[in-house]
Amino acid sequence: MLHGTCYDNLRYLCKHIGNRISGSEHAAKAVKWGEQAMKDAGADKVWLQPVLVPHWVRGKESMQIRYTPTGTYKPVPMLSLGNSVGTGGKVLKADIIMVKRFEELKAMPEESVKGKIVFFNYRFKQDLIQTGEGYGDAVKYRGGGPDAAIAKGAVGVIIRSVSTGADNYPHTGYTHYADSTHTIPAVAIGNLTADSLEKFCNLNTVSVQIQSECKMGTPQYVQSYNVIGEISGTEHPEEIIVVGGHLDSWDIGEGAHDDGTGIVQSMEVIRAFKALGIKPKRTIRAVLFMNEENGLRGGVAYADSALKKQEKHILAVETDAGGFSPRGFAFEISDEKRQKIMQYKSFFLPYGVYSFEKNGGGADISPLKKQDVPQCELLPDQQRYFDVHHTPNDVFENVNHRELKLGAVVLTQLIYLVSEQGL
Amino acid sequence: MLHGTCYDNLRYLCKHIGNRISGSEHAAKAVKWGEQAMKDAGADKVWLQPVLVPHWVRGKESMQIRYTPTGTYKPVPMLSLGNSVGTGGKVLKADIIMVKRFEELKAMPEESVKGKIVFFNYRFKQDLIQTGEGYGDAVKYRGGGPDAAIAKGAVGVIIRSVSTGADNYPHTGYTHYADSTHTIPAVAIGNLTADSLEKFCNLNTVSVQIQSECKMGTPQYVQSYNVIGEISGTEHPEEIIVVGGHLDSWDIGEGAHDDGTGIVQSMEVIRAFKALGIKPKRTIRAVLFMNEENGLRGGVAYADSALKKQEKHILAVETDAGGFSPRGFAFEISDEKRQKIMQYKSFFLPYGVYSFEKNGGGADISPLKKQDVPQCELLPDQQRYFDVHHTPNDVFENVNHRELKLGAVVLTQLIYLVSEQGL
């Protein structure tokens, strides 16, 4: 809380590199920065692990809505979903058909959807206290919206953003197509635009114009890297504890909470051991994974390498839920190991960390599951995360320095205990 | 979480009324607004309770620092402390003498302090996880700084703000003088200015110019009011549960977290009972207290009235620690009653409310202690509060709608349980 460098590291990442989608020049800069920052943190060894990543580019994009048949087209904030096709820069113009759920669309005759743009007006369930649950519920429309619309002959899809925000930021995020030869543009709008659209779709025919240039880049795949730093264990160097977040972000905002905070916290764990002069009994490794957002190729490459080298990971910890006040850890772990960790609970209570019962892990460490590596996820307070997640508003200013540092403190403590006691 | 009006109420209070120090026109507007908002919330009875409040006014103020003997004076952000005297608009110019603690000042010979401005460079202890503890520790310099400086013949006092902020906002707040005929101007500077000042005070003689107009207003006391709303109990109307926050704020920013959030949450409790059609067995009263910041006369008037009317309060709940994610309730209560409330713990865990063991209450309800009224305080997450507390940055935009509403949810639940089961 007094000497941590994670907040300063985050400022640099956000303000001097900025957003950093896989395959971009910014992502390449972030790798170089991460390598140096990991060295500065004091890791015994630092190396880059090759990952070939997809390269999607947004280009220019805009959308205009005509709310009434006699009205004019008015621009609204929008973002194409990640991995979406664009309109090739041309104007895609169509009437909107609004549905609230997949079931409603499925029940419609094809002729009432054909040639139109489907608006999935599905609301984030704000009455769920754990916003992660609301995200899991609503994100189905971001992932599955395009295919459902294609099946009915639609020419485009608009989703109400997967957002808890009382604002109008559109939220991007990964979508996909079952058949890559049959695709339609997919975009997201903010909650306030969606409210207007809902109102007018209930009154009359609403039309929309979309222009977008998004597509896979040239080349479609780019050489990139995971950044890895390690402190070797003194007694059981072969037993590895890994902690990580992801270095890539979406191509808007600054990727502050998603997942700049996880990156700088992971490096802070290394720094804290060094600053405190603690030589861990087991090996501690911090990993800045590449390509979490649109491919997970960094996570897969890491697990592949671990398998090939026959590495023994005793715990994998992910921090990718924002740099908010920590409240607990979730685990995907045997009951026996969970009980062992639960014995440490009293050490965490003074830090406001009380929840150890939930199940969870993280995307980047999930490929290690095949090797039976116990999974763990830092659980920060979740009320604000889906306000800023995948938006232009995910910026450094929205990260609180104490909340960020406190997350690093409790991560370090967990990893210290496991490095001393094993698991 | 879906139908609450507290966030909209807070927006109105912050954006259409703004800050509202006791005795000001804004405070009078806030009383009228509060009365109407309490009626809109559906209270059976709404009334105003007279409170005569002090009226302190800031006026214009500025401060310039000359960091080196040959340098020029440069303006820095500053705020006079509340209740401080000013310089009468004249320039107060003096050299600075920096001390870190009271003890250091006390040990100095009077001649080395006489005629100078004392800079109390005491840092908020950021390594304390509960920032309330850090506040309690550092605020001694805000309250006691002037008298300690006067005792050594100083002509003014500057304090490093009582602030967790990684920024340069100055924080105001109440100060006082033991002898009202012997006073000196007292101002606060932000953390970054304090860092510079520390650096240069260690190198050479630093001089400062202060100009300020703050003083007690004319008239010195103004008629104001607590705003009270009530739902009468159906079975034990004579047993009262009170929940409140304070309507006044400092005269800068918007008094959003301090304590607009407490005000709108207290009214939300009333609204929720009405919206849900719940007729409480015991009487529930929401109170918007006046003058918490510089006099506590609203809290005193409320307790005086309760005593005079022989009212029986079974629980007093205060929400005045910011509109952040709730984590628990603190109590000043008998063990027996605490055990009764602890039985409800499992109802709160799904909302992330887990801490019921701490001792606490609140300023506005503290005068009820003489009548042995059990005290209770909502405990929100505290990491961000002392970044914005008493600053121009305590604005609506820094309140998250879900965090605010969640606090109102758990307040309502606690009060519902006590209204049904007694205490």
Show the tokens assigned to B104.
């250091």
The confidence score (pLDDT) of residue A162 equals 98
Cα B408 to Cα B299: distance, rounded to the nearest angstrom: 21
* Cα angle A79, A392, B380; round to 5: 125
The yes/no answer on whether domain B59-213 falls in CATH 3.40.1350.10 is no
Nearest to B129 among A350, A355, A381 (CB): A350
Residue B316 backbone zone (phi > 0: left; psi -120 to 50: alpha; other: beta): beta
pLDDT, mean over chain B: 98
The confidence score (pLDDT) of residue A108 equals 97
Nearest to A7 among B129, B166, B350 (CB): B166
Strand residues in A110-254 grouped as ranges (E): 117-120, 156-160, 186-189, 207-212, 215-231, 236-246
pTM metric for this prediction: 0.97
Question: Quick check: B402 and A354 CB within 8 A?
Answer: no
Show the tokens assigned to A193.
């635009």
How many percent of chain A have pLDDT more than 90? Answer: 100
Which chain A residues touch B408 with a CB distance below 8 Å?
A: none
Given a contact cutoff of 8 angstroms between Cβ atoms, the answer to whether A226 and A30 are in contact is: no
Model confidence band, residue B193 (pLDDT cutoffs 50, 70, 90): very high
The confidence score (pLDDT) of residue B52 equals 98
Show the tokens assigned to B174.
């109440």
- Cα A129 versus chain centre, distance: 20
- Cα B2 versus chain centre, distance: 29
Chain A nearest-CA residue for B3: A127
Cα A248 to Cα A13: distance, rounded to the nearest angstrom: 11
The confidence score (pLDDT) of residue A107 equals 98
**Which string of DSSP letters, residue by residue, matches A81-103?**
PBT----TTSPEEEEEEEESSHH
Q: What is the pLDDT of residues A38-59, one digit of tens each?
A: 999 999 999 999 999 999 999 9
Nearest to B1 among A126, A400, A403 (CB): A126
Nearest to B406 among A129, A352, A400 (CB): A129
Question: Quick check: A400 and B381 CB within 8 A?
Answer: no
The CATH fold assigned to B6-56+219-421 is Aminopeptidase (3.40.630)
The confidence score (pLDDT) of residue B214 equals 98
* β-pair partners for B246: B289
**CA distances to A270, A277, B349 from A416, in Å:** 10, 12, 28
Which residues contact residue A416 at a Cβ distance below 8 angstroms, ignoring those fewer than 6 apart? A273, A278, A280
Cα B156 to Cα B158: distance, rounded to the nearest angstrom: 7
The confidence score (pLDDT) of residue B99 equals 98
- Cβ-based neighbour number of residue B390 at 10 Å: 29
Nearest to B325 among A166, A381, A402 (CB): A381
Question: Quick check: A402 and B384 CB within 8 A?
Answer: yes
Number of H helices, E strands in chain A: 11, 15
Question: Quick check: A1 and B327 CB within 8 A?
Answer: no
β-strands A117-120, A92-99 pairing:
parallel
Which chain B residues touch A381 with a CB distance below 8 Å?
A: 325, 352, 381
pLDDT, mean over chain A: 98
A402, A405, A412, A413, best to mutate vs chain B, most B CBs in 10 Å: A402
CA of A102 vs chain B CAs: smallest distance (Å): 23
Which regions of chain B carry the CATH code 3.50.30.30? Answer: 59-213
The confidence score (pLDDT) of residue A393 equals 98
Residue A369 backbone zone (phi > 0: left; psi -120 to 50: alpha; other: beta): alpha
Cα B404 to Cα B406: distance, rounded to the nearest angstrom: 6
Burial of A60 per CB tally in 10 Å (0-12, 13-18, 19+): exposed
Which chain A residues touch B164 with a CB distance below 8 Å?
A: 402
ipTM of the modeled complex: 0.96
Question: Quick check: B381 and A352 CB within 8 A?
Answer: yes
CA of A168 vs chain B CAs: smallest distance (Å): 14
Q: What is the pLDDT of residues A310-356, one digit of tens each?
A: 999 999 999 999 999 999 999 999 999 999 999 999 999 999 999 99
From the list B363, B343, B337, B353, the residue with the least C-alpha distance to B412 is B353
Cα B157 to Cα B184: distance, rounded to the nearest angstrom: 7
A6, A11, A129, best to mutate vs chain B, most B CBs in 10 Å: A129
Chain B nearest-CA residue for A386: B402
Given a contact cutoff of 8 angstroms between Cβ atoms, the answer to whether A135 and A386 are in contact is: yes
Chain B nearest-CA residue for A127: B1
Chain B nearest-CA residue for A3: B127
How many percent of chain B have pLDDT more than 90? Answer: 100
* β-pair partners for B50: B225
CA of A379 vs chain B CAs: smallest distance (Å): 12
Given a contact cutoff of 8 angstroms between Cβ atoms, the answer to whether A399 and A10 are in contact is: yes
- Cα B166 versus chain centre, distance: 21
Which residues contact residue A144 at a Cβ distance below 8 angstroms, ignoring those fewer than 6 apart? A102
Which chain A residues touch B4 with a CB distance below 8 Å?
A: none
**At CB < 8 A and 24+ separation, what contacts does A310-313 make?**
A311/A238, A311/A240, A312/A238, A312/A239, A312/A240, A313/A240, A313/A241, A313/A242, A313/A368, A313/A371, A313/A373
Model confidence band, residue B65 (pLDDT cutoffs 50, 70, 90): very high
Question: Quick check: B402 and A126 CB within 8 A?
Answer: yes
Which residues contact residue A46 at a Cβ distance below 8 angstroms, ignoring those fewer than 6 apart? A35, A38, A39, A227, A228, A229, A230
Chain B nearest-CA residue for A387: B400
Q: Under DSSP, is residue B44 helix (H, G, I), strand (E, B) or coil? A: coil
CA of B287 vs chain A CAs: smallest distance (Å): 27
Nearest to A126 among B2, B325, B352 (CB): B2
Cα A294 to Cα A220: distance, rounded to the nearest angstrom: 13
Sheet architecture: strand order including B375-380: B45-57, B215-231, B282-289, B236-246, B312-318, B375-380, B326-332
Chain A nearest-CA residue for B351: A129
Given a contact cutoff of 8 angstroms between Cβ atoms, the answer to whether B329 and B376 are in contact is: yes
How many percent of chain B have pLDDT more than 70? Answer: 100
The confidence score (pLDDT) of residue B67 equals 98
Interface size, chain A vs chain B, as Cβ–Cβ contacts under 8 Å: 59
The amino acid that residue A248 corresponds to is D
Which chain B residues touch A406 with a CB distance below 8 Å?
A: 129, 383
Q: Provide the 8-state DSSP code for A192.
A: H
Q: Provide the 8-state DSSP code for B368.
A: G
**Which string of DSSP letters, residue by residue, matches B180-209?**
TTS---EEEE-HHHHHHHHHHHTTS--EEE
Q: What is the pLDDT of residues B134-162, one digit of tens each?
A: 999 999 999 999 999 999 999 999 999 99
Which chain B residues touch A2 with a CB distance below 8 Å?
A: 126-127
**CA distances to A66, A96, A116 from A205, in Å:** 9, 7, 11
**CA distances to A17, A22, A33, A34, A41 from A28, in Å:** 10, 8, 9, 10, 20
Which parts of chain A register pLDDT below 70? Answer: none
Question: Quick check: A354 and B354 CB within 8 A?
Answer: yes
Dihedrals φ, ψ of B225, to 5°? Answer: -150, 150
The amino acid that residue B283 corresponds to is T
Chain A nearest-CA residue for B4: A127
The amino acid that residue B307 corresponds to is L
Which chain B residues touch A387 with a CB distance below 8 Å?
A: 400, 402
Nearest to A1 among B1, B126, B325 (CB): B126
Nearest to A129 among B129, B351, B400 (CB): B351
Question: Quick check: A403 and B383 CB within 8 A?
Answer: yes
Question: Quick check: A401 and B352 CB within 8 A?
Answer: no
From the list A311, A320, A310, the residue with the least C-alpha distance to A288 is A320
Is-cis flag, bond preceding A304, omega within 30?
no
Cα B9 to Cα A241: distance, rounded to the nearest angstrom: 49
Which chain B residues touch A383 with a CB distance below 8 Å?
A: 325, 400, 402-403, 406
Residues in chain B: 423
Which chain A residues touch B127 with a CB distance below 8 Å?
A: 1-2
Interface list for chain B against chain A, based on CB atoms closer than 8 Å: 1-2, 7, 126-127, 129, 131, 164, 166, 325, 327, 350-352, 354-355, 381, 383-384, 387, 400-403, 406
Given a contact cutoff of 8 angstroms between Cβ atoms, the answer to whether A269 and A317 are in contact is: no
CA of A237 vs chain B CAs: smallest distance (Å): 32
Question: Quick check: B381 and A351 CB within 8 A?
Answer: no
Question: Quick check: A1 and B127 CB within 8 A?
Answer: yes
Show the tokens assigned to B151.
């005792």
Which regions of chain A carry the CATH code 3.40.630.10? Answer: 6-56+219-421
β-strands B236-246, B312-318 pairing:
parallel
Cα A133 to Cα B213: distance, rounded to the nearest angstrom: 54
Can you tell me which residue has the tokens 């990718």? A320
The confidence score (pLDDT) of residue A190 equals 98
Cα B236 to Cα A60: distance, rounded to the nearest angstrom: 66
